[in-house]
Amino acid sequence: MKDTATFRRNAVAVGLVGAVITSAIWTLLSPPFPDGYADRLAAIDEAGSSAVVSAIFFPISQLFMLAAVLGIAHLIRDRAPVLSNLGGLIAVIGTLGHAVFGGVALITVSMAADAGNREVYAGLLEDFESSPMMIFAAVGFIGTVLGFVLLSIGLLRSRVVARWIPVLMLVFLVVEFVGASLSDYATYVSGLCLLIAFGALAMHVRQTPRADWAVASAEQGVATSASGDARGATGVAVS
What DSSP character marks residue 35?
S
126's CB contacts (< 8 A; 6+ apart) are 37
- pLDDT for res 216: 54
Please tell me the predicted confidence (pLDDT) of residue 24.
92
Compute the CA torsion angle 171, 176, 179, 182 (nearest 10 deg).
Answer: 170
Q: What is the pTM of this model?
A: 0.84
CA distance readout (Å), 217 to 2, 77, 140, 214: 12, 16, 34, 5
Smallest Cα–Cα separation from 51: which of 22, 24, 29, 28?
29
User: How far apart are alpha carbons 91 and 86 in whole angstroms?
Assistant: 8
Distance CA 211, CA 8 (A): 11
CA gap 177, 226 in Å, rounded: 49
CB neighbours of residue 120 within 10 Å: 12
pLDDT at 12 (0 to 100): 96
The answer to whether the beta carbons of residues 180 and 186 sit under 8 Å apart is yes
The pLDDT value given to residue 217: 45
Residue 117 host element (H or E): none
pLDDT at residue number 239:
43
Burial class of residue 169, CB neighbours in 10 A (0-12, 13-18, 19+): buried
Nearest to 29 by CA among 133, 99, 105: 105
How does DSSP classify residue 48? Answer: T
pLDDT in tens, the chain (239 residues): 567 888 999 999 999 999 999 999 998 898 887 888 898 899 999 988 999 999 999 999 999 999 999 999 999 999 999 999 999 999 999 999 999 989 888 999 989 988 889 899 999 999 988 999 899 999 999 999 999 999 999 999 999 999 999 999 999 999 988 877 777 788 889 999 999 999 999 999 999 998 888 865 444 544 444 455 545 444 544 44
- The predicted pLDDT at position 129 comes to 87
* Per-residue pLDDT at 183: 77
